[in-house]
Structure 1
């Protein structure tokens, strides 16, 4: 576009001494304010000032993210903000952060016992009990009885014992999962049954009762070259109803549901030898919050 195309440029009929035009009686050309060359379209900021502004914004953004993500340091306030909400309305890091309480040191039948009489203790009990109930020991009668008598309330254990003995001694059930009628792995194979808790959550609590949900992944199957039931991964959530009995938490009832299940990555499955080696060399944990 030429200068004559814009309003106020190239008009030879105009006279007078209007500012911004040439001398009287001459063709008047409207000049842009300021420097007509390098500075006519220049913004009011220099490049260095713009860079400083950008850097400042980035620093403030990083600081804001760090402040928003911090938690559990005792500095949070329960006072309401301008919108009327309180800090209790927001997720707290205490739902997943370690409590700092030392794990239990006592055991009964190889199972950690002697938990704290509070929500933290109930969560630790539920996590450790789920590990015991999902272990290979449940397929051996003597060990199964020890586990059930340890984790269940006395008035519930007897009934559970009968139900579990019936289920775990079923030859059809054992055959379906690839075990012998004695509940052992065939020669040359390793039986894997392991539960790994991912997190716990208290959904109800009282002075001597609590309901704790345990979200976990389960490894189950037979590791071996001739296995027809290779080790696979599953995800479940079990809600345990607990009561404080004889100075410890005991299970009175439970309910299991599938998931939440994460999206699986495209990873190559390990060989039977690698899986067997991992199961034999990597032990379990005593869980505590």
Structure 2
């Protein structure tokens, strides 16, 4: 849901057939299906080659991801070392501070702005936003001082009794007995649209979970995809959000995964914590 009260504000299956093209010009008397069958020795050599490549690949990945077990005694938080692995975090060292439980203390750079936007998207999409006291604390932590009062007023109207009922909650925003309310936002990626001096505009592509987990729930937990655009300002030595808007997508084609039961979803939400995002 847009915080400004506006909208702007398995494996892929094939045919199951495998075709092998054999060298042309050999075994003309084989009815057009190529030359004689390869010897077992040739097949063995091919197998050894493939196994060797796989072993080397695994070793390379393990070496590239080695961060906190080396003899140097330095931790995995070193951004420069992390850059060696394609799938490892890149860029500035992740933030160490927190404000009201929300990561804070970002670098004054494009990477710092993207990290801030990602973590603020998580906070603004959390279940805490459905509780007035916790929501005010979140806004105080992530919003620029000049924007806090406006956002508080807009969200107090948006989080109404009708809205709570629509997502399966009681009229006061509490969770019905025997159920677990789920509201999570997970950033998939970020993009700095513009960073100039003490202002930045960042887009955060996210997936989200929202709903009520429980045996008799009429509002089961569902997933969604959306992109948040956040304008940030540098205030008090940190990035803070000045505006926030949201639009649908881009959404991938749904997979063939079987939907889990409500108990599994509830246990997953309780058992799996979130992350501190850093570009």
Normalising to structure 1: TM-score of the pair?
0.66
Which residue, 88, 94, 107 being the options, matches 1:103?
94
Q: Tell me if the contact between 2:179 and 2:213 (Cα under 8 Å) persists in the aligned partners.
A: yes
Which residue, 124, 138, 156 being the options, matches 2:129?
138
Question: How much has 1:95 moved relative to structure 2?
Answer: 11
Return the structure number with greater relative CO, CA threshold 8 A, min gap 6. 2
Counterpart position of 1:128: 119
In 2, the alpha carbon distance for the partners of 1:204 and 1:189 equals 43
**Are positions 1:283 and 2:273 aligned together?**
yes
Question: How much has 1:155 moved relative to structure 2?
Answer: 0.8
Question: How much has 1:104 moved relative to structure 2?
Answer: 1.0
Task: Give the secondary-structure state (helix, strand or coil) at the position aligned to 2:149.
Answer: helix
**Compared CA separation, residues 147 and 95, structure 1 to 2 (3 A):** farther
* Number of aligned positions between the proteins: 204
Q: Deviations over 1:91-147 (max 9, x none)?
A: xx9999732432211111111111011011100000000000000000111110011
Question: How much has 1:182 moved relative to structure 2?
Answer: 2.0
Counterpart position of 1:230: 220
Question: How much has 1:255 moved relative to structure 2?
Answer: 2.1
Counterpart position of 1:191: 181
Larger Rg: 1
Q: Tell me if the contact between 2:91 and 2:111 (Cα under 8 Å) persists in the aligned partners.
A: no
Structure 1 runs (4+) greater than 3 angstroms displaced = 93-97
RMSD across aligned C-alpha pairs, in angstroms? Answer: 2.5
Q: Tell me if the contact between 1:95 and 1:201 (Cα under 8 Å) persists in the aligned partners.
A: no
In 1, the alpha carbon distance for the partners of 2:191 and 2:208 equals 18
In 2, the alpha carbon distance for the partners of 1:183 and 1:218 equals 19
Question: How much has 1:177 moved relative to structure 2?
Answer: 1.1
Q: Deviations over 1:181-223 (max 9, x none)?
A: 2212111110000001000000111011111100010000000
**Are positions 1:119 and 2:110 aligned together?**
yes
In 2, the alpha carbon distance for the partners of 1:258 and 1:189 equals 28
Q: Deviations over 1:3-29 (max 9, x none)?
A: xxxxxxxxxxxxxxxxxxxxxxxxxxx
The answer for unaligned runs of 5 or more in structure 2 is: 1-41, 47-52, 54-83
Q: Tell me if the contact between 1:96 and 1:199 (Cα under 8 Å) persists in the aligned partners.
A: no
In 1, the alpha carbon distance for the partners of 2:88 and 2:196 equals 22
Q: Tell me if the contact between 2:123 and 2:138 (Cα under 8 Å) persists in the aligned partners.
A: yes
**Are positions 1:152 and 2:143 aligned together?**
yes
Task: Give the secondary-structure state (helix, strand or coil) at the position aligned to 2:266.
Answer: helix
**Are positions 1:265 and 2:269 aligned together?**
no
Q: Tell me if the contact between 1:199 and 1:215 (Cα under 8 Å) persists in the aligned partners.
A: yes
In 1, the alpha carbon distance for the partners of 2:166 and 2:90 equals 42
**Compared CA separation, residues 96 and 202, structure 1 to 2 (3 A):** farther
Normalising to structure 2: TM-score of the pair?
0.68
In 1, the alpha carbon distance for the partners of 2:91 and 2:197 equals 22
In 1, the alpha carbon distance for the partners of 2:123 and 2:228 equals 14
**Are positions 1:218 and 2:208 aligned together?**
yes
Q: Tell me if the contact between 1:240 and 1:253 (Cα under 8 Å) persists in the aligned partners.
A: yes
Equivalence map 1:200-219=2 (5 Å): 200-219=190-209
